[in-house]
Structure 1
Amino acid sequence: MPDCKGITLVKGVGMKPSDVLTKERIIINISGEGKTDVLGKMVQVAGTSGKVTSETDLLRKVMEREKIRSTGIGGGVGIPHAQTSCVTDIVGCLAISQPGVEFNAIDMQPVHVIFLIATKERFDNKYLALLSRVARLFVNESFKQKIMKSTSSEEIMNLIIENEKE
């Protein structure tokens, strides 16, 4: 498979974005004072899933991962992720920012679509396959534009599910 901005794209069965995301964890028009603030808001929303035992620890883990290398993969997409014991099962949160968030992305452009993935430590290859599927989903420019123009979390969720069938 081709490499997409540092994420190896893996085809095959496994978890789909819709397996870890619900319409309740989609934030349209997120705002914040930079990456840390936006990721903090996303962690709070992920916490509503009941799968996060400590939002503070999760945010710390996500930010530690960002210090290693930005998860801004280019093209206006960021896929922050963390493996931590403060998560009981894999959980996702999607946020859309029309003006964009400075994310130190590899193309140095603002990030507009942010898909947070958190899972318990020592999760198996499903985690990597999920990261790959999310990257593949959002590097599709026409799909990303549909998501950006969506006005409801239900519409976004339907778009994701429909795209997963292709």
Structure 2
Amino acid sequence: MDLSSLLSPDCTRCAVAGSSKKKVLELIGQLAAPRLSGTTSFDVFESLLNRERLGSTGIGLGVAIPHGRLSTANKPVAILLTLNEPVDFDAIDNQPVDIVFALVVPEEEHEQHLQTLAAVAQRLNEKTCTRALREAKSDQELFDLFTQAEV
């Protein structure tokens, strides 16, 4: 799967301040909303927060993949963040999170949503990938590292 078709350099942020899970989800909403016509940053935030209430999207090893579906979304949008300080994300391994890949998709795209989540989880399960992402020094470097090593 070509994850670079979902992720763009302007939705990639390196070493951002995220003092809490809520603040990280709010930032994701601010970055995603302009790419989704008719959708506000609060709509995105609320979608992600509702999903988090079902169970944490912290998959372990310092990684979280918050995701949500929106009826107002006209296309899938991804956001990639590294955090300057890890935050508690209620991850399955109880470890704080410093890499966040968020995905917002149209409500009716169930199958694509699941396939994309699986591809992202597989990519972020590669230790060489996460190590390189954590060492990125700029937004562009972070984007390039995530998208270049796809197989």
Amino acid at match of 2:123: L
- Matching of residue 107 in structure 1 with residue 93 in structure 2: yes
Q: Is the 8 A contact 2:58 2:90 kept in 1?
A: yes
Q: Is the 8 A contact 1:81 1:116 kept in 2?
A: yes
Name the stretch that deviates more: 63-72 or 33-42. 33-42
Q: Is the 8 A contact 2:29 2:44 kept in 1?
A: yes
Match of 1:78 in 2: 64
1:2-17 aligned within 5 A: 15-17=1-3
Q: Distance in 2 between matches of 1:51 and 1:92?
A: 15
Unaligned 5+ residue runs, structure 2?
none
Q: Where do 4+ consecutive residues of structure 1 move more than 4 Å?
A: none
Q: Is the 8 A contact 2:32 2:44 kept in 1?
A: no
TM-score (norm 1): 0.85
Unaligned 5+ residue runs, structure 1?
1-14
Q: Distance in 1 between matches of 2:18 and 2:26?
A: 9
- Matching of residue 119 in structure 1 with residue 68 in structure 2: no
Q: Is the 8 A contact 1:85 1:120 kept in 2?
A: yes
Match of 2:26 in 1: 40
- Which has a greater percent of helix? 2
Amino acid at match of 2:96: P
SS in 2 for 1:32: coil
Q: Distance in 2 between matches of 1:127 and 1:51?
A: 19
TM-score (norm 2): 0.93
